[in-house]
Amino acid sequence: MGFFAFAARLRYSAIHRKCHFPGTPAHYHSLSKTLRNRCMHLPRSLSILFLLVSALFLSTSAEAQSDPDTSAAILRVQFTDHLQRAGLPGAVWTLVTPDAGIVTGAAGLSNAQTGEAMTSTTRVHVGSVAKTVLAMGVLRLVTTGQLSLDTEVASVLPALRFDNPWQATDPIRIRHLLAHTAGLENFRFYQVFSLRAQADTPLDKALGRDSLTVHTRPGARYVYSSTGYHLLGMVIEAVTHRRYEAWLDTELLRPLGMNDSSFAFSTQAGANADPRLAMGHFEERVAYPAIPVFARPATQFVTTAADMGRIARFLMGDGTIAGRPFIASNLMDALSGARGTDAERTGLQGGHGLALSVRDRHGVIGDCHPGTTIGFQAMLCLYPKEGKAFFVAANADVENADYERLNTLLIEALQLTPAKERDTASPPPADIHAWEGMYVPAWHAVTRLAWIDTVFNPVDVRWDGKRLQLAPFQGKPASLQPAGGMLFKADARAAPSHVLLTTDGERMLSDGLRTYRQVPLTSLLWLWTSAALGAAGLLTILFRGGWLLMRGRLRRSSTLALPLAGVLMLFAPIPFFFTQSFMQLGDLTIASGLLAFASIALPCAIAYGLLRLPACARSLAHPAFDCAALLAVAQWLIVLAAWGMLPFLMWR
């Protein structure tokens, strides 16, 4: 690296830790201004000396940025510092630029238990970033004429059954699966959280025997779906008559020069352990080796930083390899940005294309795809107009860690041109007050949990006279300024970020990736009241029944006897859930079996208590009190059953 490069790295490390200077060219002007202001408070002789030292620092820092080796060293120090602060073991990254080509880096540990260092050649899992790579395989089949974007999925996979209310006019097509607009749910518990899956389990086994429900009109709305990409894996197998992993490795990865990558299952433990594969981690740096999952096409992919640089460069190109067409140029033009969705038709630019989604962050707009899987988190972002890109993967899935800081460091290292903020000042829609009110998610990642999503994730939308204020029950509030027509722009965004639209007579609020629908406040009040009454009823049965039991006044024939047993059954699975792996949430285990039994036994017990109430009324001190508690629980159970939460079968 050389003495000056080493000195620059050492100086940066000390300054960054004490003064938190970002150390990138964009900050030099503000930094020099700060130094000048500080000089005003020093004696004249010291001021001169201070300015000379400051000038030396700024000039050598600028030189360091132009030196690739020094820039790489500085970035590694920045990563190391943040990994330690965030409690993350390690990370690998890639920077792609027209001048330097593909530059890789690594920091931290590949395995926190053994202390093995992370290197730029370490292999990593990337989670849903796999979807972008798999999408390119599907587009290769489209280019060669074996598929088309408008091919109906049912014609390729005739054994599947779709419950699609729009089948006559809008069947699910290949383009819908690629763009997440098929209207399918994201996943079911057993497809992701199961120890029963094998690396070679046939893909159709992940779907079960039930038909696939289509929740929104295909093509109309972005509904993120790992199930959709699982179907794409099945489509590849149906068309090529080969395992999708083998076909993609041979026909996609090898031509792209991604020789260190594979769609085949790879793990860090066991007889077939990959010694180059980084270990996955959770909180407290607890190691967790990879295991097979049923829905593997959507998330199963191992790669290196260099290989991700290769595909990033290809994604920003014209679809050719060595001058020969590999993927049609019109398909390459449609990789990012929604086309044909209700939000796009209303004027919102962005959303998800055939492989990537538009991401407006940190003053720049890119085409990106995030990824999360067991023990890993990753991000791929492209900036085609400048020919630049980055990839980063951390070998830990820690709930409260600041992964966005890693993205920020790489954006700064790329020295991207800031996106010009559009002059969006404009009056709001004339009927803006009609759009005020409560909004709930218009789609649900896990359909079985739709009630929870609706009750606990509404957003209160209000117009304060100048801006649209969004107040979610969970998460940070947002303030949107009018951006023309039905468009609005969030703070710290360069382009309009939200749109108000009407779909099938319902008012919607969308950011291109998430859509909320307006609902009457009374409907939410009913759900909240129902839940509150039900919880109060359960507590009443628990404490009153327990008190009667301890007093010896609770007989088998008593009104609260069976209801109390039903409530106590809800607690039975808890210790078993704590003693089993969280990866068994989707398996039929003692814990999930007891929970399913309790979800069936409780309604039966409550019904029995209500039937016994007239016969026991004379012997009860407070029959009305018991009746109210039983009715409160009964109505809540009816609501939960109507929303599909009862019986609660996690393995289906």
In tens, the pLDDT along 159-203 reads 999 999 999 999 999 999 999 999 999 999 999 999 999 999 999
Query: Which positions ≥6 away from 594 have C-beta within 8 Å?
Result: 569, 572, 573, 576
The pLDDT tens digits of the residues spanning 208-240 come to 888 999 999 999 999 999 999 999 999 999 999
Q: Give the residue from 206, 231, 244, 245 showing the smallest Cα distance to 152.
A: 231
- Contacts made by residues 620-627, CB under 8 angstroms, sequence distance 24+: 620/559, 623/559, 625/540, 625/544, 626/544, 626/559, 626/560
Residues 198 and 338 in one domain: yes
Q: Is residue 365 part of a domain?
A: yes
Residues 242 and 228 in one domain: yes
CATH number at residue 440: 2.40.128
Residues 634 and 542 in one domain: yes
Ramachandran area for residue 285 (φ above 0: left; ψ -120 to 50: alpha; else beta): left
Residues 16 and 161 in one domain: no
Q: Is residue 58 part of a domain?
A: yes
CA distance 5 to 73: 8
Give residue 428's pLDDT: 86
Task: Say if residues 398 and 101 touch (Cβ distance below 8 Å).
Answer: no
Residues 559 and 513 in one domain: no
Residue 131, amino acid: K
Average pLDDT value for residue range 482-510: 93
Q: What is the sign of the dihedral through the CA atoms of 302, 304, 305 and 311?
A: negative
CATH number at residue 261: 3.40.710.10
Last-in-domain residue among 484, 519, 554: 519
Residues 182 and 209 in one domain: yes
CA distance 44 to 206: 76
CA distance 443 to 173: 20
The whole-chain average pLDDT of the chain stands at 89
Q: Where are the beta strands (DSSP E) in 25-177?
A: 90-97, 101-111, 116-117, 124-125, 162-163
pLDDT-above-90 percentage for the chain: 79
Q: How many CA atoms lie within 13 A of 344 on its CB side?
A: 19
Residues 243 and 156 in one domain: yes
The pLDDT tens digits of the residues spanning 395-414 come to 999 999 999 999 999 999 99
CA distance 552 to 570: 23
Instruction: Supply the DSSP symbol for 234.
Output: H
Q: How far is CA 476 from the centre of its chain?
A: 17
Residues 511 and 636 in one domain: no
Last-in-domain residue among 485, 519, 553: 519
Residues 399 and 467 in one domain: no
Residue 2, amino acid: G
Ramachandran area for residue 632 (φ above 0: left; ψ -120 to 50: alpha; else beta): alpha
Last-in-domain residue among 26, 49, 66: 66
Q: Is residue 113 part of a domain?
A: no
Q: Decide if pLDDT at 1 tops 70.
A: no
The pLDDT tens digits of the residues spanning 35-59 come to 333 333 434 444 433 433 343 343 4
Residue 105, amino acid: G
Counted domains in the chain: 4
CA distance 305 to 397: 18
The pLDDT tens digits of the residues spanning 541-569 come to 999 889 888 888 777 767 889 999 999 99
- State the virtual CA torsion across 15, 395, 233, 223 in degrees, nearest 10: -60
Q: How far is CA 533 from the centre of its chain?
A: 33
Q: Is residue 419 part of a domain?
A: no
Residues 334 and 469 in one domain: no
Residues 460 and 373 in one domain: no
Q: How many CA atoms lie within 13 A of 138 on its CB side?
A: 33
Q: Is residue 326 part of a domain?
A: yes
Q: Residue 515 sits in which domain range? A: 432-519
pLDDT-above-70 percentage for the chain: 88
Task: Say if residues 524 and 458 touch (Cβ distance below 8 Å).
Answer: yes
Q: Does pTM top 0.75 for this prediction?
A: yes
Q: Is residue 56 part of a domain?
A: yes
Average pLDDT value for residue range 139-158: 98
CA distance 451 to 645: 8
Residues 17 and 148 in one domain: no
Of 100-104, 331-335, 362-366, 620-624, the one with minimum mean pLDDT is 620-624
